[in-house]
Structure 1
Amino acid sequence: MSEFQEKHTVSRLIGSPPGYVGYGEGGVLTEAIRQKPYSVVLLDEVEKAHPDVLNLFYQAFDKGEMADGEGRLIDCKNIVFFLTSNLGYQVIVEHADDPETMQEALYPVLADFFKPALLARMEVVPYLPLSKATLATIIAGKLARLDNVLRSRFGADVIIEPEVTDEIMSRVTRAENGARMLESVIDGDMLPPLSLLLLQKMAANTAIARIRLSVADGAFTADVEDVLNDESVTEDETVL
């Protein structure tokens, strides 16, 4: 919702009132609800929006309807609204092991931003930090997709050593960032050495027999074996 930080952007959601530019065109939100009355509406990072934008939802959450810029009432009774926010993430991290006290600790943080009347109309659902088991499952899925891409693109055997998963896990040090750090480690640390070797082989028009990803001395390593005169030539690239 960062694009709705200014007060005047309210008209983009519900449409412009009579006499203003854009009158008759409808709002992005109200028109979408009117055309698809059985929908899920996601408002991402609502803390970035102007307070007047949030004021639009009092009526929607209370009576199940919303007035657009032309004064027409839009039926919202069959709409499910999801509002996501980073407010209170530190409280959630600190109370992750004690969910019973989390709601009580989280309420003052939310009340500092949301008006009590609006907060009372919402159900707060905290998202807990990802556990190590969950992160390991996500990593396994990403490495499996990488395996499939390399096999289909180069027709080579792909070996990803188990210690690769452990090294990725060891570099994900901030639980509040969730799985985003996984992307950073994989794309920024693990893949560059492999990509460099593969580009070199493609430039030389060299067939590839085997690709291996591993870890040595706390660094990701990539090995690429060529198919050349029935002999395998191995090259290695390491990233710290």
Structure 2
Amino acid sequence: EDGEGREIDFKNTIIILTTNAGTDTLMKLTADPETMPSWDALAKALKPELNKIFKPAFLGRMVLVPYYPVRDEALKQIVRLKLGKICRRIEENHKIQLLYEDVLVDEVAKRCTEVESGARNVDNILGNSVLPEISRRLLAGMAEGQKPAGFRIGAAENGEFVYSTV
């Protein structure tokens, strides 16, 4: 029953649960693509870690599906897709071209490997760093009556994002 007393039918339902339990073990076992274990071997290696956190009866009702970590090239492709979406949005809404350099893609991907959130951090970096700065520069230009034709974003050697007007 739900909170209002209605009966809920879970027939033909799949519930997906995720956890960071066993992340350290997973990362160690998959660090080298050449020696990466099979899916079954990875699931078996994670089982003791999961047993420390979850009751065996609970785990017995589940199918364990370990996720392999996102590799560098896949992560960079995710960054490119997200940046492409931002570029299109700025072009459509403001008729301004947004260009980015490969070093920006590399830097965003690098920052995503520094934290456990991985590829989920791409949105955070772009939404909290890149977009606010583009907005600030766009609004400043509009306030001065000088709408830029575009922006170019790169990254300095120290990892700082670098913005320039095109």
TM-score under structure 2 normalisation?
A: 0.80
Q: Which of 5, 11, 18 is equivalent to 1:84?
A: 18
Q: Is the 8 Å Cα contact of residues 212 and 224 (structure 1) preserved in structure 2?
A: yes
CA distance in 1, matches of 2:154, 2:17: 41
* Structure-2 change in CA distance of 1:199 and 1:107 (3 Å): same
Runs of 4+ in 1 over 4 A off after TM superposition: none
* Structure-2 change in CA distance of 1:78 and 1:175 (3 Å): same
Q: Which of 99, 105, 127 is equivalent to 1:165?
A: 105
Offset from partner CA, 1:142-182 (integer Å, 9 cap, x none): 11011111111221233222221122223223363221222
Q: Is the 8 Å Cα contact of residues 91 and 102 (structure 1) preserved in structure 2?
A: no
* Structure-2 change in CA distance of 1:78 and 1:171 (3 Å): closer
Equivalent position of 1:213 in the other structure: 153
**Which structure is higher in helix share?**
2
Q: Which of 20, 28, 34 is equivalent to 1:94?
A: 28
Aligned residues: 159
CA distance in 2, matches of 1:186, 1:209: 21
The amino acid across from 1:184 in the alignment is N
Q: Is the 8 Å Cα contact of residues 141 and 147 (structure 2) preserved in structure 1?
A: yes
Percent identity between matched residues is: 30
Q: Please tell me the root mean square deviation across aligned C-alpha atoms, in Å.
A: 2.3
Q: Which of 26, 39, 57 is equivalent to 2:5?
A: 26
SS class of match (1:185): helix
Equivalent position of 1:139 in the other structure: 79
Equivalent position of 1:201 in the other structure: 141
**Which structure is higher in strand share?**
1
**Which consecutive unaligned segments of at least 5 residues does structure 2 have?**
31-35
TM-score under structure 1 normalisation?
A: 0.58
* Structure-2 change in CA distance of 1:77 and 1:207 (3 Å): closer
Q: What displacement does 1:92 show?
A: 1.5
Of 193-202 and 181-190, the range deviating more from structure 2: 181-190
Offset from partner CA, 1:154-212 (integer Å, 9 cap, x none): 21233222221122223223363221222333233433433321120122232222221
Larger Rg: 1
Q: Which of 110, 118, 121 is equivalent to 1:178?
A: 118
Which structure's relative contact order is higher, taking Cα pairs within 8 Å and 6+ residues apart?
Answer: 2
**Which consecutive unaligned segments of at least 5 residues does structure 1 have?**
1-13, 16-21, 34-75, 226-240
